[in-house]
Amino acid sequence: MSEPFGVRLRTQMERRGPLCVGIDPSPALLTAWGLDDSPAGLERFSFTVAEAVADVAAAVKPQSAFFERWGSRGVAVLERLIPALREAGALVVLDAKRGDIASTMAGYAEAYLEQGSPMAVDAMTVSPYLGFGSLAGTIATAHANDAGLFVLARTSNPEAALLQETVADQIFEGVAAANEGAAGLGSVGVVVGATLDKVGHPLDRLGGPVLSPGLGAQGASAAAVARLFSGVRHAVLPSVSRAVLGDPARIRSLTERYRDECVRHLRG
């Protein structure tokens, strides 16, 4: 990769529209598709979604947990899926939410961010709740490999509100510092749920992208995302999963619909 993740993401959102599609092969979705809840069903589901969206969405976000639950067989599917998505032109954001002490985070960074790793992605989600400083080495690895990070900041699950509101300022400040000096959009972003009533913290000095899950099945609309992030619309990447994954025959058309709505509201 010859350009930093933030630059590539900004280009991709301009070219394809600001939308990320999750690949969430949950047992419920596998069953709804008439597939076995097995590594074979996992593979069929994942590559069907990839074929439908990888050349339409700016980014695709596999949920690592649904692959890991099958052990080495599931991880092997993920290892094949990542390069297939990237070869089709999508940026791959691994939803892994890794967060640990610095030495352990170095291992995760090597696995998912270093060029040449069999599971190297464009960006991954990380947790800052062992202290933002625990991410310093991971941030350095991301920068060295033109990769990106999305740091959990204000997620949409209700049980997170009290904790996250207490420390969100520190997270946003840490991300802003990590993006200092970046040309264009920085490569370290935050995760902020699209279903929140308000963020409660200024994002205009963040310098990096905002990954915003919750579009569709969780109740958020593209119009709501535009209102929530009115000052940083250019940096927001809304994410949709269940709303486009329920019917395998309509994945592409639904993705295009959500993409077009995001373009209309976030660029208007």
Report, as an integer, the average pLDDT of 187-197: 96
Q: Are 184 and 6 within 8 A, CB to CB?
A: yes
Question: Is 70 exceeded by the pLDDT of residue 82?
Answer: yes
Percent of the chain residues topping a pLDDT of 90: 93
CATH number at residue 84: 3.20.20.70
Report, as an integer, the average pLDDT of 72-93: 98
The predicted structure's pLDDT at residue 24: 97
Report, as an integer, the average pLDDT of 13-41: 97
Question: Is 80 exceeded by the pLDDT of residue 1?
Answer: no
The contacts of residue 173 (CB under 8 Å, 6+ apart) are: none
Domain membership of residue 38 as a residue range: 5-267
CA–CA separation, 258 vs 268, rounded Å? 15
The predicted structure's pLDDT at residue 120: 97
Question: In this structure, what are the phi and psi dihedrals at residue 237, rounded to the nearest 5 degrees?
Answer: -120, 95
The number of folded domains in the chain is 1
The predicted structure's pLDDT at residue 181: 93
CA–CA separation, 134 vs 92, rounded Å? 23
Percent of the chain residues topping a pLDDT of 70: 99
CA–CA separation, 81 vs 137, rounded Å? 27
pLDDT category, 219, cuts 50, 70, 90? confident
Task: Return the structure tokens found at 51.
Answer: 């074929």
**What residues are annotated to the active site?**
97
Which residue has better confidence, 2 or 161? 161
